[in-house]
Amino acid sequence: MVRVITDDEFSQQFKDFKHTAWKLEVRDRYNVGKETQDIQWFLRTGDLGREANFAQTSAWHRNVTSGRAEGKTWQRVRVVSEPLSDYIRWEHAVTRFNIEAGEDIRWLPRHHPGAAELPNFDFWLFDSEWGCLLHFDDDDAPSKSESIDDPATIARYCRWRDIAWRHAIPHAEYDPESSKRFNI
């Protein structure tokens, strides 16, 4: 079954899952209004000072940290074009705060053959039992989310997760300046 969910239902998923939350990100830009000033600041100065303060107080990071303490696993793969877009350069820089909270984030250059086996949309997969398909408008802003629990669709999502995870590079090992040199 597929159904559009509310923002509250979307947020609740990150409390309801029991074991694993896994995300595939395939966009080179996300237009999230509250990030705009921080991105512009980073692009001008290279400074992450504001993000460091936010990371210590954000609801997302607190939830990940408490979930990890309960034994939950948080993972994501970011499929990226190289050279990195301005947004992804900022995102790469601030990923350390997600990792400090307890996420395992990996990178998959779009030119890697494994990336061709993946869908061209973002989704969350929870406990390998249900998913959330993420939609964006023409300006890259989040527009709606759909809850998905159809077993055949979830099996596809699990296959995509396994492909992405197998080929992705752990954050600590991913250097966007030199990743084109890895052997494919």
pLDDT of residue 35: 87
Beta-ladder partners of 38: none
Rg (the chain; Cα; Å) = 16
Residue from 140, 134, 138, 123 nearest 86 by CA: 140
Whole-structure pTM over 0.85, yes or no?
yes
pLDDT of residue 138: 96
Question: Residue 114 pLDDT > 70, yes or no?
Answer: yes
pLDDT of residue 16: 95
Element (H, E) at 53: helix 49-57
Characterise 141 by phi-psi region: left (phi > 0), alpha (psi -120 to 50), beta (else).
beta
For residue range 122-175, list pLDDT tens digits in order: 999 999 999 999 999 999 999 999 999 999 999 999 999 999 999 999 999 999
Residue from 163, 158, 152 nearest 125 by CA: 158
Question: Residue 178 pLDDT > 90, yes or no?
Answer: no
pLDDT of residue 51: 58
Q: What is the DSSP string of 131-159?
A: EEEEEE-TTS-EEEEEEE--HHHHHHHHH
For residue range 33-74, list pLDDT tens digits in order: 888 888 898 899 888 866 556 556 688 889 999 999 999 999
Residue from 128, 121, 74 nearest 100 by CA: 74
pLDDT of residue 71: 97
Beta-ladder partners of 2: 148
CATH 3.30.870.10 assigned to domain 2-181? The reply is yes
For residue range 89-104, list pLDDT tens digits in order: 999 999 999 999 999 9
Element (H, E) at 169: strand 169-170
Question: Residue 113 pLDDT > 50, yes or no?
Answer: yes
